[in-house]
């Protein structure tokens, strides 16, 4: 047999495998925090599938996170598991000291993975200067250095950070004696070519800074389904460590699936593959630990409420959100499920006239309430002025945010019949439009207020008439 996969040039040997399940994995919105005995069981299973390094968590996140990280570190030590250990920290003194405490109480070195974002978009949003970023790295790295624990600089969103900024951040890492720099594709932006270019650049830059021995890690997310390909590209380009999580759980779309990563790296670097039984057991254990008791085990409760004026009487589980009830039990799919964690506003509905995020509202909490969804706007006897105005002003592009925008605006117009543009902006400020059509949306709500009062500024225009073509661009918000 001929294997076309073999013989690809690689600059170094197989990178170490870093398991981030108990840190990044637990940041998934879909998992539960497992009890410590399950975390410990998972730790042992990691050893059986060839994991080299394990993240013990983010100890500064709270007393439980600290306690668990210490317990896990002690277990690694007591059971002589073949791991090195890391723990995450923001680039602050307090967070680094929490990792130092874990290291001391566990009786073994725990490397600080101190993270900070330096991409232009993050700096713009946070108002961070490059000097501030470098200062935070230097200060937190110094805390680790004085405590004698190794330090890794984790650069969030590295794949969208310009070379000059990266050079300056690498310089800070070198100045503080970092053992390693972790290159991150935190938003799943990169493709394999970009990853290879970034790794080559980082290696070259560190060499030019006189620190060629500084190691590189790769941490990639799966927003575009490329995380495994990117991890392999990073490995081929010569990083020293690659991150993954059980089942690929992690922030938003998740991380690189560890089950795939260990197999792919074995094949790529011609090493023995972990036994499939061990990988299956790891996967099953992680699923059981992270998903917790299945929600289908919950008893059903009776719920009565009114939805768009009609009485509803259903049996539902205590954990059911109002959003799930509307979309999946009542078939009212006009209300959108966007982030499902209170960030985007796409799920906005009215409960007793007030806008609420249905994804964060338990259905049982709406006992006896009057819930109004976007479907109500299309009712007889006439189209709601908001729908008419959104249509005329071209206020929907992809339309994903539109139901939430409409319901937030509906609540506004119910309490203020002639809102100012500022009041409109404030009413929709919790609703994100990823197409960024805010100008047209504010125009539309302003027009809806006029239509509702009988003042139609374009009398010849009829409702539902296609909006005239308008060029894209800023529309005077
Ligand atoms: S889906 Fe509820 S806020 Fe995004
Ligand atoms: S129209 Fe696309 S998200 Fe707002």
pLDDT digits (tens, 9 = 90+) for 10-50: 667 789 999 999 999 998 877 888 999 999 999 999 999 99
Summarised one tens digit per residue, pLDDT across range 50-101 is 999 999 999 998 999 999 999 999 999 999 999 999 999 999 999 999 999 9
Mean of pLDDT over the chain: 91
Please tell me the predicted confidence (pLDDT) of residue 474: 36
Instruction: Indicate the pTM of the whole model.
Output: 0.65
**How many angstroms is it from 433 CA to the middle of ligand 2?**
4
Helices 227-237 and 258-268: crossing angle, nearest 10°? 40
CB neighbourhood size of 418 (10 A): 12
Q: Ligand 1 in contact with 338 (CB < 6 A)? A: yes
Q: Ligand 1 in contact with 432 (CB < 6 A)? A: no
Partner residues linked to 243 by β-bridges: 18
Handedness of CA 152, 153, 158, 162 (dihedral sign): negative
Please tell me the predicted confidence (pLDDT) of residue 283: 94
Q: Ligand 1 in contact with 345 (CB < 6 A)? A: yes
Nearest partner of 154 among 247, 219, 214, 240, judged by Cα: 219
Q: Ligand 1 in contact with 357 (CB < 6 A)? A: yes
3-state SS of 117-128 is ECCHHHHHHHCC
H-type helices in 238-384, by residue range?
258-268, 276-291, 322-324
Q: Exposed/middle/buried for 473, CB within 10 Å: 0-12, 13-18, 19+? A: exposed
**How many angstroms is it from 468 CA to the middle of ligand 2?**
19
Residue nearest to atom 4 of ligand 2 (CA): 433
Which ligand has the nearest atom to the CA of 440? 2
Q: Rounded to the nearest 5°, which phi and psi values hold at 339? A: -75, -25
Please tell me the predicted confidence (pLDDT) of residue 11: 60
Residue nearest to atom 3 of ligand 1 (CA): 342
* pLDDT higher than threshold 90 for residue 2: no
Which ligand has the nearest atom to the CA of 403? 2
3-state SS of 40-101 is HHHHHHHHHCCCCEEECCCHHHCHHHHHHHHHHHHHHHHCCCCCEEEEEEECCHHHHHHHHH
Q: Ligand 1 in contact with 367 (CB < 6 A)? A: no
284 three-state secondary structure = helix
Partner residues linked to 217 by β-bridges: 182, 241
Q: Ligand 1 in contact with 337 (CB < 6 A)? A: yes
Pocket residue to mutate for ligand 2, from 437, 440, 441, most atoms within 8 A of Cβ: 437
Q: Ligand 1 in contact with 404 (CB < 6 A)? A: no
Q: Ligand 1 in contact with 73 (CB < 6 A)? A: no
* pLDDT higher than threshold 50 for residue 476: no
Pocket residue to mutate for ligand 1, from 30, 324, 335, 347, most atoms within 8 A of Cβ: 347
* pLDDT higher than threshold 70 for residue 466: no
Q: Ligand 2 in contact with 401 (CB < 6 A)? A: yes
Distance, CA of 136 to CA of 143 (rounded, Å)? 11
Domains recognised in the chain with CATH numbers:
16-291 (3.20.20.70), 297-340+347-373 (3.10.20.30), 379-452 (1.10.150.120)
Task: Classify each residue of 221-256 as buried b or exposed e, where b means 16 or more C-beta atoms within 10 Å of its C-beta.
Answer: bbbeebbbbbbbbbbbbbbbbbbbbbbbbbbbebbb
Which ligand has the nearest atom to the CA of 359? 1
**How many angstroms is it from 117 CA to the middle of ligand 2?**
26
The helix or strand, by DSSP H or E, that contains position 354, with its residue range, turns out to be strand 354-357
Q: Ligand 2 in contact with 404 (CB < 6 A)? A: no
DSSP label of 184:
E
Distance, CA of 258 to CA of 242 (rounded, Å)? 10
């Amino acid at each position: 047999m001929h294997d076309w996969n073999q013989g690809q040039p690689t600059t170094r040997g197989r990178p170490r495998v870093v398991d981030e399940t108990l840190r990044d994995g637990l940041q998934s919105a879909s998992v539960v925090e497992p009890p410590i005995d399950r975390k410990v069981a998972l730790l042992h299973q990691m050893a059986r599938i060839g994991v080299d390094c394990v993240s013990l968590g983010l100890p500064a996140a709270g007393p439980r996170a600290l306690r668990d990280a210490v317990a896990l570190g002690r277990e690694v030590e007591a059971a002589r598991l073949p791991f090195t250990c890391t723990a995450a920290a923001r680039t602050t003194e307090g967070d680094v000291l929490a990792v130092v405490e874990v290291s001391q109480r566990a009786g073994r070195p725990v490397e600080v993975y101190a993270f900070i974002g330096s991409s232009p978009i993050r700096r713009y949003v946070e108002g961070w200067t490059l000097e501030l970023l470098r200062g935070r790295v230097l200060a937190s790295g110094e805390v680790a250095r004085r405590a004698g624990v190794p330090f890794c600089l984790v650069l969030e969103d590295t794949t969208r950070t310009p070379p000059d900024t990266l050079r300056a951040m690498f310089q800070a890492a070198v100045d503080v004696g970092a053992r390693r720099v972790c290159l991150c594709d935190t938003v799943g932006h990169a493709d394999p070519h970009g990853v290879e270019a970034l790794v080559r650049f980082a290696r070259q830059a560190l060499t030019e800074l006189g620190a060629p021995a500084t190691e590189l890690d790769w941490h990639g997310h799966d927003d575009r389904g490329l995380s495994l390909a990117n991890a392999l590209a990073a490995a081929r380009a010569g990083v020293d460590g690659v991150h993954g999580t059980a089942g690929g759980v992690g922030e938003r779309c998740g991380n690189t699936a560890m089950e795939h990563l260990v197999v792919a790296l074995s094949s790529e670097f011609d090493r023995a593959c972990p036994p499939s039984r061990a990988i299956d057991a790891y996967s099953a254990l992680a699923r059981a630990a992270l998903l917790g008791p299945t929600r289908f085990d919950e008893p059903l409760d009776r719920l009565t409420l009114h939805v768009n004026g009609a009485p509803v009487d259903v049996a539902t589980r205590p954990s059911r959100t109002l959003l799930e009830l509307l979309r999946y039990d009542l078939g009212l799919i006009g209300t959108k499920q966007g982030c499902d964690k209170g960030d985007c506003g796409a799920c906005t509905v009215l409960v007793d006239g007030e806008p609420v995020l249905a994804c964060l509202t338990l259905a049982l909490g709406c006992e006896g309430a009057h819930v109004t969804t976007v479907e109500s706007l299309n009712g007889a006897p006439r189209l709601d002025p908001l729908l008419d105005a959104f249509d005329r002003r071209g206020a929907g592009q992809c339309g994903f945010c539109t139901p939430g925008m409409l319901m937030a605006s509906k609540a506004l117009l119910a309490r203020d019949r002639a809102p100012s543009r500022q009041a409109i902006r404030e009413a929709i400020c919790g609703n994100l439009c990823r197409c960024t059509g805010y100008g047209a949306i504010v125009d539309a709500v302003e027009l809806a207020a006029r239509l509702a009062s009988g003042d139609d500024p374009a009398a010849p225009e009829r409702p539902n008439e296609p909006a005239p073509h308008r060029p894209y661009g800023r529309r005077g918000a």
